[in-house]
Structure 1
Amino acid sequence: MDWSIAKILIQDGLVTGVIYALMAVALVLVFAVTRIIFIAQGEFVSFGALSFAMMASNQVPQTIYLLPIMGGIIFIKELYFYFKGKHGLKLWQSFLFFVALPLLIMYVTPLILAQEPNLWIKALLTLIIVVPLGPMVYRLVYEPVAEASVLTLLIISIALHFAFVGTGLVLFGAEGWLVSEPFFDGEVDFLGLTWRYQSLFVIGMALVTIFGLWALFGFTLIGKALRATAVNRRGARLLGISTSLSGHLTFWLTAFVGVLAGIMLVSFIQITYETGFMIGLKGFVGAIIGGLVSYPIAAVGAIGVGIIEAFSTFWASDYKEVIVFTLILPVLLVRSLSITHHDEEE
């Protein structure tokens, strides 16, 4: 291997690495605020990518029916709480958020697609259709057991992952999808390499998203409330911060990041209903490198995973997954040795 090949591999690894970085940051965010190891994060990538690919092919995605179905189940649950006299949203608010708006989205989406809008409108529609599934999942699945142990929440996440995979197979079928039309067409020479505008767009969007999350947590009241919840849930409640609202906001953010990653990734590789799981796992490797705590270390670690994967594909493509996931072992070993003293102190 010479330097020219190495530069190309680094370029490919960087493009996929920023996607893994988005996954890693989202996983750290969810775990820090809610203590949930969100295995189903990758399914938001798949659902977003496949919904966008179907719309790019002038087809109406079947995901438009998920919002009304999940919203209807949540509304029935809210009705039960209402008649039992338990605290929750007002009935009109529940009907608006979980019934009226999902039905409106389901009705309007085919009308908009019939006008053959450009790729940007289709990407925006994908976000509108899929991102609300995040807080719905939290309200329906996780909120009732929010105070359960991390192990219980992990088991629920695994069950949710399998439910989403089956749903994806029903909605999209087993064949893969790829969007051949880029957001930006053309190439530019930079740092001795030829970069596609689409690749630079993906890297730029990923960096903007990560920077936006950093600004949210560092300079806004909502971000500080989420940070307080991450540090001490009980203390946050004593200060009047709603841990339930924090959970909903967190799942809004993680769903947005996952769907955005899927929209960008489907322009480079073929996505199937189960592809998101592997992407999420590679983001999880980056999150583990960051100790499920540090956003910058998780992002840098995930980018490193993408670059190592690119070199592994060149040297030993049959073992690239083994090499990538083996990266967890030394990290876990070092962390297990470093936290022993703290565990004994507690």
Structure 2
Amino acid sequence: MAATNHTFHPAVFLLWGISGLEELHIWISIPFCTMYVVALGGNSLLIIFICMEHSLHEPMYFFLAMLSLSDLLLSTAIMPKMLAIFWFEDRVISFQACITQMFSVIDIFVMESTVLLAMAFDRYVAICYPLRYTMILTPSVIKKIVGFSLARGMILSFPFVFLVEQLPFCVNNIITNTYCELPTVARLVCGDITAINIYTLVLCFLSTGLDVIFISISYTFILRAVFRLPSHDAQLKALGTCSSHVCVILMFYLPAYLTVLISHLHCAVLLTNLYVVVPPALNPIIYGVRTKQIRDHIIRWFSHLGRACLAGDVMDN
């Protein structure tokens, strides 16, 4: 522990886990570990399918691969340490590792929100300007969207590191959570946290706030274009192409805002832990089940794999 420029930074923090449910940590770890394995496997398979199958080399699936990568990074930034707390009571995390984890979570969260906005723009162009789809979403435009997503996450997250480094922390170094979440860590600060509060509000507005506004505008134009289609079947087909994206949007934004609203309640910690593993586990399942192209490729791949295994067994016999 050291003091520099009248600021005190503890050498380590103690991640206490889910307060009040310490005796149930082993049992709680079972569904969390299961969902993490599903998230790792499902998102990895989705990325592999999209990369290997040339018919999926379209903007929509490319953005989906980016979403899967973001889900992998978000869950992996938190889950290994969370499981170590549940299984081995390994609660110690260094100050720098805690700051790095918080920065990573904010960065990935902003990046994933940007990807969801890009996917909304993709659906807007596909439905409102179908004949100009390939002219608008060119490889050059997609590369710029990827670069913007990465740069936006870094730029909006970077001030956080500077602000936290300047804060004086109290002697109490116990974090009542399974990972270094900004609101929980901020409660350990003994000084004025006005700058952190302002930064949090600005970050929320410049990332998820603006994204929700633009996504809502996109879907307003999409719905207007859909209901102008001549046949009911055409309307349903157009809406069906957006259903998976809408489900993922709701799973991403609603729990995030709900967590902020109930942050003072005891169950908020459990909800924040569920938030970092449930959407990453469900997103590939939603797209795998509801997207025909992906579903057909998965079925075909497993059919080939099954026939290959059966042929191997026959040859062995």
Per the normalisation by structure 2, the TM-score is 0.31
Greater relative CO (CA pairs within 8 A, separation 6+): 1
